[in-house]
Amino acid sequence: MNISKQHAMLHQLVPDTAPLLEQLLDLEQQPNHEVVVAACGLYNAGKSTLLNALGGFVEQEHFKTAAARETRQLQTASMQGLTLLDTPGLDADCDDDNTAFKGVLQADLLLMVHNPRNGELDQQELEYLANIQAQSEQPLHQRLMLVLSYGGELSAAEETRLLATIHQQFIELCGDKPVTKVVSATTYLDGVRRNKPALIAHSGVVELQQHLAEQHADLQSQRVIIRQQKQQRLRQLLQVEIDHALQQKHQLLKQARQQLASVLTQQEQSASALRRMLRERLTA
């Protein structure tokens, strides 16, 4: 019997396990694809621009960018063995928030893109991060990098102060601060277009590309371990749910059997009384 048939049977037997089963099935059917690096953050944070810069989409952008809200769906591109994943801004009223979030959860590394013009992380970003943390096998600061976009717009002192505040927010949220890079994707794209090495170097994008290339092998082996841990955790949860559901069924059957037994006893008592009465009448 194949896995889907087993799952269908289990679903029929214990319907409450449906969400867990779905997650397990998703995980089992996930292809062994490339390492996925996803950009997430508020709309207009510069996610798509950053991914265009990282992926080398200079003359023609692969990920559409705009000054207004733009990305509405998940979109991917390949970059030296990595898959870059663009996501809708957190506050976009996107058709399928769940699909977007599921995609983000399956990413191996998250680039949390934050525009320093917005100051520290806002409530929406913090809730989003907490939600990811709640559903991750690894601590948040290990599966996420903070990327401050619009690099060069703050003075060095302002940038240091802002980063200290944001790092403190991370420490409160998950106990540690993530690896952090400050980039200007527009400066990088401009530098490549106009062949200005100083702009390219100043943009911080090359540094980020190098960092991702260095992380590649680690991310790949981590992916296998995390997948196994996730499967193990889901199977354990499933086992607990199944045991609980079977115990409840067993209890219900026991009660039903007791009720039936008591009805049977009553009926037997009535029948004996009836037989006794008939016998007395016949012998009278």
Ligand X SMILES: Nc1nc2c(ncn2[C@@H]2O[C@H](COP(=O)(O)OP(=O)(O)OP(=O)(O)O)[C@@H](O)[C@H]2O)c(=O)[nH]1
Q: State in angstroms the smallest separation of the CB of 98 from ligand X.
A: 17
Q: What is the β-pairing status of strands 144-148 and 35-40?
A: unpaired
- Residue 48 in contact with ligand X, rule: CB under 6 A: yes
Under rule CB under 5 A, how many of the chain's residues touch Mg ion? 4
Which one among 186, 209, 215, 222 touches ligand X, defined by CB under 6 A?
186
Closest CB to ligand X among residues 44, 215:
44
- Residue 57 in contact with ligand X, rule: CB under 6 A: no
Piece in contact with Mg ion (CB under 5 A), picked from 67-75, 127-135, 223-231, 262-270: 67-75
Which residues lie closer than 8 Å to 43 by C-beta, 6 or more apart?
Answer: 69, 70, 71, 88, 89, 90, 91, 92
Nearest one of 147, 141, 206, 154 to 182, comparing CA atoms:
147
Closest CB to Mg ion among residues 21, 113:
113
- Residue 76 in contact with Mg ion, rule: CB under 5 A: no
- Residue 103 in contact with ligand X, rule: CB under 6 A: no
Residue with tokens 């039903």: 256
Q: How many CB atoms lie within 10 A of CB 267?
A: 10
Angle at CA 196, nearest 5°, toward 189 and 56?
30
Residue with tokens 């403190």: 168
Closest CB to ligand X among residues 92, 112:
92
Which one among 17, 71, 76, 209 touches ligand X, defined by CB under 6 A?
71
- Residue 76 in contact with ligand X, rule: CB under 6 A: no
Q: Are 137 and 33 in contact (CB under 8 A)?
A: no
For the CA atoms of 248, 251, 253, 258, the dihedral, rounded to the nearest 10 degrees, stands at: -160
Which one among 76, 184, 215, 222 touches ligand X, defined by CB under 6 A?
184
Tokens found for residue 221: 């082996």
- Residue 49 in contact with Mg ion, rule: CB under 5 A: no
Report the interface residues with Mg ion, using CB under 5 A.
Answer: 47-48, 70-71
Report the interface residues with ligand X, using CB under 6 A.
Answer: 43-49, 65-67, 69-71, 88-89, 92, 149-150, 184-186
